[in-house]
Amino acid sequence: MNTLFPTILNSTSESNSVSLHLDISSELAHFDGHFPEHAILPGVTQIFWAEHFSRQYLGTTIPDEAFFSHLEAVKFQQLIRPGEQVELTLEYKADKQKLYFQYRNDEQQFSSGRLVFADTPNKAMSDV
């Protein structure tokens, strides 16, 4: 188990949003020890992937100099387990400096929330 990112089966993008169809392999490092008998994908990993893939796919929309400030309205409704295929939808609203994320499949929503960015590290720290 040493893979950090899921396999992207396909993607659809627009100017400020992207939808990624992800294969959540049991070989992901994030499942190691979380939990041995009943592996689940940690929430912090879902947030990490949202920011990572937003910068990769929406890099021209989210400025490189944007600093993570805080999270808003984060909800983990269902567990993501090894072997699942999920759709990660990301939308960046530049006027609000917010990245909206949602993990779901045809049957259920797994998690959702917003990552808020700031122009400077000092502003990011004062927002929390």
CATH of 7-126, one of 3.30.360.10, 3.40.50.360, 3.30.200.20, 3.10.129.10: 3.10.129.10
123-126: long-range pairs with CB below 8 Å, 24+: 123/67, 123/69, 124/67, 124/68, 124/69, 124/70
pTM of this prediction? Answer: 0.88
Mean pLDDT by 10 residues, the chain (128 residues): 88 94 92 78 95 87 79 96 96 93 97 90 54
pLDDT of residue 37: 79
The position carrying tokens 């992937």 is 49
- Rounded to the nearest 5 degrees, what angle is found at the Cα of 108, between the Cα atoms of 103 and 113? 35
Instruction: Tell me the DSSP string of 90-119.
Output: EEEETTTTEEEEEEE-SS-EEEEEEEEEES
Does 35 sit behind a cis peptide bond, omega within 30 degrees of 0 on the bond before it? yes
pLDDT of residue 124: 46
In the DSSP assignment, the letter for residue 28 is B
